[in-house]
Amino acid sequence: MLMQSTEFFRNLPPKECAKCGDKIEEMHESYSNECTHCESKII
């Protein structure tokens, strides 16, 4: 039996920053892989 799409998305783990591993608070229409702290760092 297939699960409903809403159940699938509800069960996904929280998104994590690709650099530091902190949880990212997702924003609408955002495809960012880094938290705001890591994005603001100058390389």
Structural domain contains residue 1: no
pLDDT tens-digit profile, the chain (43 residues)? 788 888 988 898 888 999 999 998 877 677 888 988 998 886 6
As for how many domains the chain has, the answer is 1
Contacts of 17 (CB under 8 A, 6+ apart): 23, 24, 33, 34, 35, 38
pTM over 0.75: no
**Res 16: pLDDT:** 92
**Res 32: pLDDT:** 83
Structural domain contains residue 36: yes
Structural domain of 26: 13-43
**Res 17: pLDDT:** 93
CB contact at 8 A, 28 and 12: no
Give the whole-angstrom CA distance, residue 31 versus residue 15: 11
Structural domain contains residue 42: yes
